[in-house]
Every structure is written in structure tokens, then in C-alpha cells.
Structure 1
């Protein structure tokens, strides 16, 4: 059995806190004029290192002359002054900035099973199977608010947030406007009416579990290793699918079109080519 406690510091990448400009030359009638512009990410001279405080408890067991093993670990930690790269208004001259967002806490379980199914004089097979899950919560934000958006797209119609008291990485998107009976509203052009005053929770970006399987085969002086990783859960938003569905580029949108409409020699309802 084991118990450990640790405090670890972590800084942002090298030079990202610097407030620096790029110098360029702009051609004019009277010659070139020097120009100073921000880089894509604006620096932050007040950026502090993040500090991680963690307890970990573990149990390791071995059986059958070490041919079968089990390792279980549980951890509980929190990170003060978590560093994240946040998007900023492009009118500021930059599109992002590294900043200390607040306190993030984590707890999770890791389970590892090891085995040696085959053990011969000239050949052996060792395998290891891992499974783990992690729960990440937002405890507080340095900005003093209840929510911080660290990614947004399509004029804020989609955003990924850090929200106090909830899991990190929740995804919110504009909801479809409803009538008094709760039915979706559709415009005269046949599009859903989007309610830009109301967001709907659509998922979380973090996986529910991750792990992998590692195998090692030994034959005399030769060794072969291969690993398979897996990641279960975690939502993602596909911009390609969104716009392809909206423009009717996918075959599964054909059934919703008017019968007999032909575009480019193709019947838009059946997908068949017309001579």
C-alpha cells in the first residue's frame, strides 16, 4: 500500500507571457514605413505559475510468482491559478491570451492489470491493460464571475466554458426557438428560428474514460512491442458536418427537398441524374 502527497509547479510555454510586437514594413509612395503589430496571442506580464496540490492512494498486488498483477490508484488534487489560453476580441489586435483562470479540482481512479500469459525459455508474452477516469470541476474563477468562455465560434453561437460548480469543458449552443406548446419554430424560408438569447447544454469535451493495452513479445534476443489506446466519451462539434448539412451536401438531406427540383442535371429529391 502507498500514500503520497505532492506540490508541483507548472509554468506556461516559453515567451508566451511576453508582450511583444512584430515589425513589418509598409510600402508607401515615399518609401517604406515601419509598422508594429501584435502577434496572434497577446502577452500577459501578470501571468503566474500554476500550483498543483495532490494526494494519491495506491494498492499493488502480485500473484502466481509475479505473473499476474493488479495496481489501483486513487488521486484527489486541485490546481490554483490554472493556466488556459482564452480567446479575445479581434478588435484588441490579438485573438488569444494566456491567463490564470482560477482553481480546478480533479479526482479519479486508475486501474492497471498486468499478466504474463506465456513464459518459456526462449519466448515470453507480457501484457498490460489500463483503465482510468477523471472528474474535473471548476471551483472558482479569478475573474469573480460564474462562467468563463475559453472557446467560441460562429459569432458566439457555440461556446466551451468553465462554469463554477460544474465540470470543465461544458459545450453550449444557441437553442431553437419554441412556441407556447414547445414546438420548434420554422421561418417562411423553411429554416429553424434560432433563439440568440438562450443557450442549450449539448455535452462536455472531456472523455469519460481513457486507457490502453500494451503487449511485449520476447523471442531470444528479439523484442516486439505494440500498444492500443482508447478514449471513451467526450463530445465534439464538427464544423464540416454542420455546414454540409445546412447546404444540403449530404445524401441524407435529399428526402427533405421539394419533389422534382433539378440542379446540375441531378434530381435533388432522388439523387438520380437526368439526361
Structure 2
């Protein structure tokens, strides 16, 4: 299995320490949310300099507040700061409550906005000239405006049919959150791969992100997930993908149970079409440390 963990830390020192430990334990990747240290790309640059092989990715950077040309330049600067390959940009339009509520920006056409964004960004990261005037974004940049020292992979936070088409057409795949195995098998995988084939692109990656908790009391484990997932429970986008996957709530979609049960559920994600797993460890019960250790130990063992 290719299993990664949620990245982060309250200080630069803790971010570096976490990345070094994850790499030493054999984890394939770390995924940083947009709120980490105010800018996850800074954390990636720090962690990348102190590691050598682990993939470092964002899950996800918001598109709306940052022009695609500036975003591409930021990515190139980050991979230069890392001093090695291994940067993956997970991007997404976020949600109306964030974009309209926090930034005061229009969220009228997120599908069109995201498609134009990906067209521009991926071309720039390849070093190509971009002369694009769209309904949402405009860029006029000569070839070589963005010079990345190493290849930068791009994944789209894609759950809807349109976003999956865009991900397959322009990106290297999709980075998911709260998509159960059934949703990946019936909804994500077929749409994403069909779009990639139609565009003549390689088989796309599917990074499946879900809460994971090894704990003998399943009710306690799901309660712990529910306490952390309030914002997702109220999001229409996540409600739709949960429903497609046969889950009513984020707690229902979580990977929980003893070691054997969790391993079975993780393998079901791969059987459904996921190529990678982003495990967000959620400790549970009166001895949360024991639950956390059991979960991490299992994930580490499955990576071997």
C-alpha cells in the first residue's frame, strides 16, 4: 500500500520533526491542509529540505484567492526550497462559505473557474507559454515564465462529475476527502479514468483521504470522528459524495475497528480504484494514546 498521513505542526521545528519521522517509518507521503502555518507551501519547503524521498503534498490549496500564475510561481519556489523532487499540489475551489464569506469573492461559477485555473496552471508548470483570456481568469505569459527545478504534480480536489472530468483532462489525478470505497468505485474512478483516456493522458492517481482509527469500540471510534468532522457533515459537497458511497455522515465513512477490520477497509479502497491512501489518524477512547499508536503501527506495517 501507498499510505500517507496528515502533515502539520504548531512550529517549524515540529513540522520538520514530523516529516523526518514519517519518512523514517516508511510512509509514502504527508498531506498539508491550507491552514497549516498560514501557508502550507512554507511547511513543505522546510520539511523537504530535511527529508529525501517522502512525497509532500497540499490537500488542499484554495484556488480562488491566488492567481494561477502566482500559484505556479509559488510552487516553483517551494520545490526549489525543498532542493529535491517530490512536491504535489492538491488544489481546489474550496466552498462558498469560505470564498464568499471570508474573501468576499464571487462563487457563482466554481466549475468554470476551476477548469480555467487548471488549464493555465498546468501549462505554466510545464514551462509553456500561456496566452489565455477566459471568463474567470486571464494570463499572458511567455514560455519559461515559470521555471520549476523539478516536476510538480497537480491533483484536483474532485468530487463532482465536472471536477472529475477536469481532473482527468488537465491534472495528474484527484485528491479526495470523505469519499467511501463505493463512491470511488462507482463514481470517481470511472469518470476520472474516462476523462484521462479521452485526453490521452496517463492513468490518473486517486488519493483517497479518510479518517482512520484502530479501536475495539467502534461506537467510540465513530464518535471521535464525528467530533472532528462537524464542518464536513454540514457541507453539501461532502453530503453528496457520502450519499453516493452509502454513508449518512462522515463518521459512517471513517475507517474504524480493530487491526483486521481496518486493513480490510483500506484494501477495499484500493480495490475500488484508489492508488494512494491519505490516512487522517483519529485517536479514540479513554486511552487516546494507545489508539493512536495502534493506528500508526498498523499503517506503518501495511506500507512495507
TM-score (norm 1): 0.21
> Rg bigger for which structure?
1
TM-score (norm 2): 0.20
Name the structure with the higher helix share.
2
Higher relative contact order (CA 8 A, sep 6+): 2
